[in-house]
Amino acid sequence: MDFQNTLAYAEQLDREDPLKGYRDAFYFPKVHGKEVIYFTGNSLGLQPKTSQNYVDEIMADWKALAVEGHFHAGKPWWDYHERLAAPLAKIVGARPEEITVMNTLTVNLHLLMVSFYRPTRSRFKILCEEKAFPSDQYMLQSQVRWHGLDPETTIVELKKRPGEHFWRTEDVCSKIEELGDSLALVMIGGVNYYNGQVFDMEAITRAGKAAGAYVGWDLAHAAGNVSLELHDWQVDFAAWCSYKYMNSGPGNASGAFIHEKHLGKTDIPRLEGWWGTSKETRFLMKPEFEPIPTADAWQLSNPSVLSLAPYMASLELFEEAGMPALIEKRDKLTAYLEFILKAIDDEVTSRFEIITPKDRGCQLSVFLHGEGRSLFDYLMQQGVITDWREPNVIRLAPAPFYCRFSDMYRFGQLLKKGILEKAG
Ligand SMILES: *Cc1c(COP(=O)(O)O)cnc(C)c1O
């Protein structure tokens, strides 16, 4: 594409954007009375204007119906979570029965590890990426110790090649092959939170399955951002949070995927509770657990409907816009941001470097040579919300639902000004 670094050109792209109307479906924070340029949809998505109504609906039903709301609310609470399965299945490439919504992400990864990390004397190793998101590291280490094993000798971290900022699929696959019969689980973040890399989940899952291991993905930065085909790829399990690209609200419920082939089993190791037992007989309060033949068998408690409500509001926007359109805009918007960054970098004579590889979703991670934190602070003061990661990386995620091409242009101008001012 022949992009141009001008406001007129960026505004032209905005006018041609088929998703332009969605910007108005979200609330924006303001700085100096102006809506911010929001680059942190990968950390906490903006609030859809419809979320409040969904929450109010639950509050009103609770007020008017109290316990009767479980069965007689407009959207009855006892199976409220099931309404989220179909739209989520479309987003992650699954069958609705492979999806459940419950707890939060780290909790769900722990629960899924109970089922899919079953170390034996010979097959016990876990392969993950080096410098995984800290919560995933703690989760893996504590699981390993809980099994009486030593994280040092059990967890194998995939390294990047010296001098490179990304992992190569061939290196991941050859490591899997090398570990072979000792490999129990491959567990990686599908989109790396730091460099924005999208792993080749299909190829890596295939390699993991060929080695006889289970394969699970942490999709925190992938769900609602990149194209996923979890069912067809034969992924064993996956989980994601909903408050990043999925705009469901701070700390909100996590989604989990469990492949069809693991459903409907009574003998699978699993931590269980009453919300995982058959709905038909649940209220007979019988002592036997009869697993729901869907991923809901992993549910323990009756869910917090108040938190599912804004998640549902957000999923309706995804239903309406559709992932293919979001992905198409994402690619164009991110490419435009990359173009702007390169143009500015030329003008200020190479002060930064994009470390995100070509296999990417929404996010570009920019490594700053120099300025660092003070530039980040400057941008914040100018109403550009970015995200800072040590040692000196700024992460920019122009979420396609609500970011504009003209925001990319304006950001470029502010970035240039910031760099030149700092350089004095
Ligand atoms: C955001 C994120 C988490 C967050 O976990 P919570 O349990 O929702 O607090 C976990 N893992 C990854 C890779 C993340 O990006």
The protein residue with its alpha carbon nearest to ligand 1, atom 8, reads: 105
The angle formed by the CA atoms of residues 403, 42 and 382, to the nearest 5 degrees, is: 55
Q: How far is the CA of 135 from the centre of ligand 1 (A)?
A: 6
Which among 44, 133, 138 is the best mutation to test ligand 1's pocket, defined by most ligand atoms within 8 Å of the CB? 133
Between β-strands 99-102 and 47-48, what pairing exists: parallel, antiparallel or unpaired?
A: unpaired
pLDDT, position 228: 98
Between β-strands 125-129 and 47-48, what pairing exists: parallel, antiparallel or unpaired?
A: unpaired
Q: How far is the CA of 352 from the centre of ligand 1 (A)?
A: 27
Residue 158 phi/psi, 5° resolution? -75, 125
The protein residue with its alpha carbon nearest to ligand 1, atom 4, reads: 105
Q: How far is the CA of 113 from the centre of ligand 1 (A)?
A: 15
Helices 7-16 & 405-423 angle (0-180, nearest 10) = 150
Ordered per-residue pLDDT tens for the chain, 424 residues: 799 999 999 999 999 999 999 999 999 999 999 999 999 999 999 999 999 999 999 999 999 999 999 999 999 999 999 999 999 999 999 999 999 999 999 999 999 999 999 999 999 999 999 999 999 999 999 999 999 999 999 999 999 999 999 999 999 999 999 999 999 999 999 999 999 999 999 999 999 999 999 999 999 999 999 999 999 999 999 999 999 999 999 999 999 999 999 999 989 999 999 999 998 888 888 889 999 999 999 999 999 999 999 999 999 999 999 999 999 999 999 999 999 999 999 988 778 899 999 999 999 999 988 767 888 899 999 999 999 888 889 999 999 999 999 999 999 999 999 988 875 4
Q: How far is the CA of 187 from the centre of ligand 1 (A)?
A: 14
The protein residue with its alpha carbon nearest to ligand 1, atom 14, reads: 220
Which among 103, 105, 191, 199 is the best mutation to test ligand 1's pocket, defined by most ligand atoms within 8 Å of the CB? 105
The protein residue with its alpha carbon nearest to ligand 1, atom 10, reads: 135
Reading the block at residue 37, the tokens are: 């340029």
Residues near ligand 1 with C-beta < 6 Å?
104-106, 133, 135-136, 189, 193, 218, 220-221, 241
pLDDT, position 186: 98
Please state, in angstroms and rounded to a whole number, the distance separating the CA atoms of residues 272 and 323. Answer: 33
Do the beta carbons of residue 165 and residue 357 sit within 8 Å? Answer: yes
pLDDT, position 389: 86
| Domains of the chain, earliest start first | 7-47+322-423 (3.90.1150.10), 52-321 (3.40.640.10)
pLDDT, position 371: 67
Reading the block at residue 189, the tokens are: 């973040």
The CA-based dihedral angle spanning residues 280, 284, 285, 289, taken in that order and rounded to the nearest 10 degrees: -40
Do the beta carbons of residue 377 and residue 385 sit within 8 Å? Answer: no
- Look up tokens 């479980």; give the residue: 70
Q: Which atom of ligand 1 is nearest to the CA of 107?
A: 7
Which among 107, 135, 247 is the best mutation to test ligand 1's pocket, defined by most ligand atoms within 8 Å of the CB? 135
Which among 131, 199, 241 is the best mutation to test ligand 1's pocket, defined by most ligand atoms within 8 Å of the CB? 241
Q: How far is the CA of 314 from the centre of ligand 1 (A)?
A: 19
Please state, in angstroms and rounded to a whole number, the distance separating the CA atoms of residues 392 and 372. Answer: 5
Q: How far is the CA of 105 from the centre of ligand 1 (A)?
A: 6
The pTM assigned to this predicted structure is: 0.96
| Residues contacting 270, CB < 8 A, separation 6+ | 111, 114, 115, 276, 291, 297, 298
pLDDT, position 423: 59
pLDDT, position 373: 83
Q: Which atom of ligand 1 is nearest to the CA of 189?
A: 13
Do the beta carbons of residue 197 and residue 221 sit within 8 Å? Answer: no
Q: Which atom of ligand 1 is nearest to the CA of 221?
A: 15
Q: How far is the CA of 225 from the centre of ligand 1 (A)?
A: 15
Please state, in angstroms and rounded to a whole number, the distance separating the CA atoms of residues 277 and 366. Answer: 48
